[in-house]
Every structure is written in C-alpha cells, then in structure tokens.
Chains A and B, each alone.
Chain A
Amino acid sequence: MEDQRIVELFFARSEQAVAALDEKYGSLLFRISDNILQNDLDAAECVNDTYLGVWNAVPPARPSPLCAFVCRIARNLSLKRYRERTAQKRGPALPLEELAGCIPAPSAEDVLSARELGQAICRFLDGLDRESRVLFLRRYWFSDPVKDIAVRLGVSENTVSARLRRLRIRLQQYLQKEGFP
C-alpha cells in the first residue's frame, strides 16, 4: 500500500492504519530497534511504541516521506531505551561509537554543536556517491551489523569494514576543514 494511503488511514482513525504500517515497515522498524537494543523483546516493544507514536502524531502531522518519519521515531525510542538500560549497566556498544574519534569532545554548547555537527555530516554525505552514503547511514544511522551491510551491498564484510574506515577518515578530515577542532 502506498504511503499516502496509509497516512489517509491514520487520518480516518482506522485500525487498519497500524496493520498497513506494520505490513510495510514492521520488519524495517524491528531491525532498527533490534540493531540498537540487541534484544528481540525490547525491540518488539519499541516497534509497538513506534506505532503508538505514529497514531498519536498523525493527524495532525502528515508525514512525507512516511518511511523516514517512522524510522526516526523507532530509532529515537530505541536509543532512549538503550540509554535507560545502559545507565544501569554497560550494554553492547553502538556502531555510532566508532565515529567518536572523528568528532571533537562535547562542549558546553552541546545542543548547538549537535545541530551544527549534524548539518556538517549532511553536507559530507551529500558529497559522497550513493553507495558510500548508504553504507555510512546503514552503519551509523540504522546501526546495521557489518555482515548485513555486506549482504545488502553485495560485497564482503572485509570490504565493508575497509570502506567504513576510509569513510571515517574522510569525515574526520572534512570536519576539520569545516572548522570542527
């Protein structure tokens, strides 16, 4: 079912809306959540929370593209749960942490820095070829395991690792050039 139709179902407050959303994006959302939480039950709960979030947000929101909208909710909920969990005990490391060496230490102006840093990363991604951009985002936005990315791109895991390493170096150089210390 096309996204606009699903959104219309949400506007009609039809229970089919959630079923249609689950059918189209359920596996993608579960993967995002499970990549972060590494726990099927927690991931399933996060996906359900995502549906509730979409139900509450639409209407009035009319998301377009719907895919990015639901992915953002799932990711944010999963990261929130991840932080709650890791506040109590150390959990599995996020792929995101591989990027730590590319960025400066957080300053007192963290919120501003995060936005500026994000916009710089966006520009960096714009300058990449499509496959490199997908590779970067699948690893650091979707938190995909290297082996899953390798399958998606039809290359070996070693190739993925090597390309990610080169991308991190390029990002670090780009950020330095953009004025990030």
Chain B
Amino acid sequence: MNQTELLSQALDEVRDGQIEEAAQYQKKRRKPWLRWGGLAACLAVAAAAALLLRPAPAGGEPIPGGKPVPDSASLQAEDVPETAQPALQSPDPPQEPETAVSDEPASPIYSVGVQWEEVSAEDYGGVTSEACLAYYTPEEIFAMDTVIFRGIPRSVRYFRVRLDDMDLWYRVFAIEVTACYRGDLQPGDIYNLLCDGPSTVSGLIESLGTADEAIFMPRIATGETGFSLSGSDSFFCYADLAELYLGEGIRFLFLEEDGQVDYARDVYDIPAADGQTVTLDDVAAYIAAMTG
C-alpha cells in the first residue's frame, strides 16, 4: 500500500456529519448592492414609493377560473431568510404558534414556480393515483420523525396546485388538538394538516370528516418538504399550506368511527382494554408503550 492508498483509506474514517457539512457548505456571498449603502437605501425608498402609487398587482399567473396567486409564491428559495421557518421548527417554540388560533394556511414563501387555488368540495377533482407502501415494522414507524396527537378536524379545504403542467390535489384539514403524545402541539390549538389527493395509500384520509376524532402521526412541514418533478426547478413546498403533512393514511392515522377505531390491524397489534373493542384510549396507551 502506498501513501495515497493509506490516505484514501484513512479519509474513509471521516464522519458522515463532516462529509455532509462539506457537501452542503456554500459561503453566502455579500450582495454587491450592499456596498452602495446610502444609494441603495434611496433606491429602495423610490421603488417602494413607485409600488405604492401603482395599482395592486394581480400576483402571479392566475389559474384560469381560479383566484390569483400571491406574489410571494414566486420567491426563489435563496430569497427566503434563514430565520423564516415554520413555528414548529423553531428551536424554542413559542408558547402560542402563529397559526394556533387560525385555520388559514401559512403564507406561500417556500414554493418555487407553482400556482395554487382553493377549490370547493364539488370542484375537488383529485384523481386516484397509484402509490406503493414501503414495508415498516411498528418500531420503525414509531421511530420516524413524526408528531403524534389526538384531534378533531374542524374544517377541510381543497386545493389544486399546478406544478409545471401537472395538477396536484391536496386537502388541508384544520385540526383541533385534544391531546399530544409526541411533539410540542398544545391541546386546544388548531393546526393545518395537509394530505395528498386520493391515492391507493390514502387509506383512512378518505373517510376523515369534520368532527371525527382520530390520532394522527404526521410529519412537520419544513422549507424542504414538498414535491418536485424530476428535471424541473419547480417545487411545491408543503409548509406553504400547512404546518403538518400526511402522505399516507393507512398506518399513520387511527380513526374513530361509530364507536370503533379503524386502523392498520395488519401492522399494529393493539390490545383492547375491555378485551373486545379497541378505542382511541387503547391506541394512545399502545403509542405510549411504543414510544417510551
């Protein structure tokens, strides 16, 4: 073995975190206009005045028949300040998240090159698509980075998202939290949960109605969670419409209907306290045991 081979092998010991850091590091360049100080400030004031004096813009290309898209939907990812993170991502979550008492979706700031509109339930045209489930054991599922909470949907809104030439369909449930088993969600607060349009893995999402009580295991939507097409720069970021998202409703949702809980019985072996019927309390106890 020569020295190059020895070094090559030695550098194999470099840790994953160090490699990832080096792979992703890009020093932020100082923007040239910052050098112009006062002049830039004057230009900004002039530009702001011009904007105030002209008629309000339509805001992006409207979808035919749809409502205008906010201007911020066309922001580039690099324009988003590092501090612009969803409330749930904050290292020190505020006691009262901004969205805690609202069922309005978050402002569109992360998505690039997409348009969306809210549609009525009648116009919601989601076409069932094919999807596959990856096999996970219950231990693997509970080891995933999800929040787990019990709650009741208070409303549902429907969205058509246009990404390049493709229409994507989503539902956003405003869910009132009644108990939180993992994460920082506060009982009584309302969080927006985004669900994919109908697919072969939608499962119980298709049955979820307002006033149904359920236990949810969604992921937190961040600036990086979303959908994009291969070879396209367009990116639909889930965090623009909701704080949480649920792509699959088979194993990540336990829905109580007519006094019974529907869930993936082939995955979870949940004992019933009365020996007969599994309730949401039984599910909660099972989750507590699984998550320690």
B276 partner residues in chain A, CB cutoff 8 A: none
| CB-CB nearest in chain B for A69 | B16
* Contacts between chains A and B (CB distance < 8 A), count: 134
| CB-CB nearest in chain B for A135 | B22
Type the 1/0 row for B1-23, where 1 means its CB is closer than 8 Å to any CB of A. 11111111111111111111111
A41 partner residues in chain B, CB cutoff 8 A: none
Question: Do A94 and B22 touch across chains, with their CB atoms under 8 A apart?
Answer: no
Contact of A118 among B10, B23, B27, B135 (CB under 8 A): B10
Answer whether residue A167 sits at the interface, using C-beta atoms and an 8 A cutoff.
no
CB within 8 Å for A72 and B7 given contacts A8-B134, A20-B230, A152-B26? no
Answer whether residue B225 sits at the interface, using C-beta atoms and an 8 A cutoff.
yes
Contact of A23 among B21, B23, B135, B231 (CB under 8 A): B231
Provide the bound-state CA to CA distance between A12 and B20, in Å: 25
A121 partner residues in chain B, CB cutoff 8 A: 10-11, 13-14
Contact of B8 among A8, A23, A79 (CB under 8 A): A79
Provide the bound-state CA to CA distance between A136 and B224, in Å: 28
Question: Do A117 and B10 touch across chains, with their CB atoms under 8 A apart?
Answer: yes
Interface residues of A toward B: which range?
35 or more
* Secondary structure call for the A interface: helix
Min CB–CB distance A159 → chain B (angstroms):
12
Provide the bound-state CA to CA distance between A114 and B7, in Å: 7
Provide the bound-state CA to CA distance between A83 and B4, in Å: 10
Provide the bound-state CA to CA distance between A115 and B144, in Å: 32
Question: Do B22 and A23 touch across chains, with their CB atoms under 8 A apart?
Answer: no
A interface residue numbers (CB < 8 A to B): 1-2, 4-5, 8-9, 11-14, 16, 19-20, 22-23, 28, 65, 67-69, 71-72, 76, 79, 83, 94, 96-97, 99-100, 103, 105-106, 110-111, 113-115, 117-119, 121-122, 125, 130-131, 133-134, 137-138, 140-142, 152-154
7 A–B contact pairs at CB < 8 A? A4-B144, A9-B134, A12-B132, A106-B6, A117-B13, A121-B14, A141-B19
